[in-house]
A = this chain, B = another copy of it.
């Protein structure tokens, strides 16, 4: 029996905890005792059914770090006691073009999300990491280095890979000028990762008061998007822009910052953009793209990269009892830069 924190829809009730039956450990499953789980804005969107697709009760959480407690008979890569991670995906079809490319996040038959996703084997819906344990097929379990601060690793599984994957996909390399737009959970990882890749990192923000923190995180400089003169001076100078703004916004001022053939990639918002001026793409053969988390092999690569370069998110640890306040603070951008739930607190409550 696993104890999970869950949400119910009727009155947007605070999260409570309950005992739920998780599936039995199958031959290719890894059972994980959850140590820490990051709090992602997506959890809140699902908790509040913002996208009209939540099936309650919902156990959120897709930034999971824990230790293996049990392995199925066919599992070869993990053993009891291993430190592991689970991100946004727990399964995919494995045979479509995207899966064959290692891009399971774009599985053409629908990847199985870590929570609120139909479980193709067990039936029912998947349940996430606000929980004492989780059982996941071996291929979707990641190895986590003991070298990093384990508490801080969890947000790498979503915020980390969401920033890392586009930086790699669009070939950010040493010396490239990379702009990170927006300083939240994703943006602060974008700065750290691009800096670790050797890029010249420019934090692009509306808020002058974020400058100091951006530099502490690794940004070489700060460009204020409201400063028209500074924006004009920076026109055509960026090799890549990582756009982490989480709400609908006007992308045009940012597009003008791109060099010829350069790309701005949206990772923060699926809500869209205001009207787009085609000339900003045509003059300079620029691209506006989007990117969703990353594939499993790439997530492992990111975890290894972070271990090698000592990159972890800035986190604020909370107990499960703090979760409803934490969600409110995420919504008002009052977290620097990611909450992580210490799951001992849920175990203690449940005891």
| Residues of chain A whose beta carbon lies under 8 Å from any beta carbon of chain B | 97-98, 101, 103, 106, 108, 169, 236, 251, 259-260, 263, 266-267, 269-292
In the complex, the answer to whether B291 meets A288 with C-beta atoms within 8 Å is: no
Nearest CB of chain B from residue A295's CB, rounded to whole Å? 11
Given A236-B108, A260-B103, residue A285 in contact with residue B275 (CB < 8 A): no
CA distance A256 to B32 in the complex (A): 38
Residue of B nearest to A294 (CB): B285
Residues of B within 8 A of A278 (CB): 266, 269-273, 290
CA distance A70 to B200 in the complex (A): 51
In the complex, the answer to whether A275 meets B274 with C-beta atoms within 8 Å is: yes
In the complex, the answer to whether B284 meets A279 with C-beta atoms within 8 Å is: no
Residue of B nearest to A270 (CB): B279
> What are 28 sample pairs from A and B whose C-beta atoms fall under 8 A apart?
A97-B260, A101-B260, A106-B260, A106-B283, A106-B284, A108-B236, A251-B276, A266-B278, A266-B282, A267-B282, A270-B279, A270-B282, A270-B283, A271-B278, A271-B279, A272-B276, A272-B279, A273-B276, A274-B275, A280-B290, A281-B288, A282-B290, A283-B292, A284-B290, A285-B290, A285-B292, A286-B289, A287-B288
- Most chain B beta-carbon neighbours within 10 Å: one of A271, A275, A290: A290
Nearest CB of chain B from residue A18's CB, rounded to whole Å? 32
Residues of B within 8 A of A290 (CB): 278-286
- Most chain B beta-carbon neighbours within 10 Å: one of A275, A278, A289: A278
CA distance A165 to B291 in the complex (A): 26
In the complex, the answer to whether B272 meets A275 with C-beta atoms within 8 Å is: yes
Residues of B within 8 A of A101 (CB): 260
CA distance A260 to B270 in the complex (A): 16
Nearest CB of chain B from residue A292's CB, rounded to whole Å? 5
CA distance A279 to B279 in the complex (A): 22
Residues of B within 8 A of A271 (CB): 277-279
CA distance A271 to B260 in the complex (A): 19
Given A285-B291, A287-B263, A291-B285, residue A276 in contact with residue B276 (CB < 8 A): yes
Nearest CB of chain B from residue A233's CB, rounded to whole Å? 14
Nearest CB of chain B from residue A286's CB, rounded to whole Å? 6
Residues of B within 8 A of A287 (CB): 263, 287-289
